[in-house]
Amino acid sequence: MPDLDKLTALIAPEAEKLGFALVRVAWFATGGQGSDEPTLQVMAERPDTRQLNIDDCAALSHRISDLFDELDPIEEAYRLEVSSPGIDRPLTRLADFADWAGHEVKVELAEPMDGRRNIRGDIVGVDGETILVDDRKSGRLTFAFSNLGSAKLLLTDRLIASTAPINIDGAEEIENETLTEDQQED
């Protein structure tokens, strides 16, 4: 498995040059869709919209590919996947827990706390390096960011309502192109 910290250190500046914030760099031993090749997954977002469109993904993919062709930091064959984190996104940075306070999260701790490894509830926020979650079963729980194994927002009506709409610039022109002349006159 490649050194993800090293890869992140290479990828983050390339994302920043394009105006993106790096959300996650992950390695999956087997690729998806029937591929036996491992996958290097890169998630990034525009800080203002928390999204990437297809052109953004392509631009970042080309930047990473060009850099990796030059430096060759991964010895084995692999697939590169660049994407937006999506609405039910992983929370990987301490700031994510502050930004998404009030939304429901599913957390897996790296080390059990009071015999529990899984937490599900509403994010309260952060206090220094500590994350606060109102768990449905146990009430307010706190844990160190360093003990975070993984976390993901859960898709809820509240999350959908609070998420900025996808950029729809140009959608009207596309819609008009698909209408017949008679339909456009109506």
Annotated domain spans of the chain: 4-83, 94-162
pLDDT at position 56 over 60: yes
Partners of residue 80 on adjacent β-strands? 40
4-83: CATH, from 3.30.300.70, 3.40.50.1370, 3.40.225.10, 1.10.1670.10: 3.30.300.70
Evaluate if residue 184 carries a pLDDT over 60: no
Residue 137: what pLDDT?
84
69, 70, 57, 76: which is closest to 15 by C-alpha? 57
Q: What angle, rounded to 10 degrees, do the helices at 4-17 and 54-71 form?
A: 130
Task: Identify the weakest region by mean pLDDT among 32-36, 82-86, 94-98.
Answer: 32-36
Fold of 94-162: SH3 type barrels. (2.30.30)
pTM of the model: 0.76
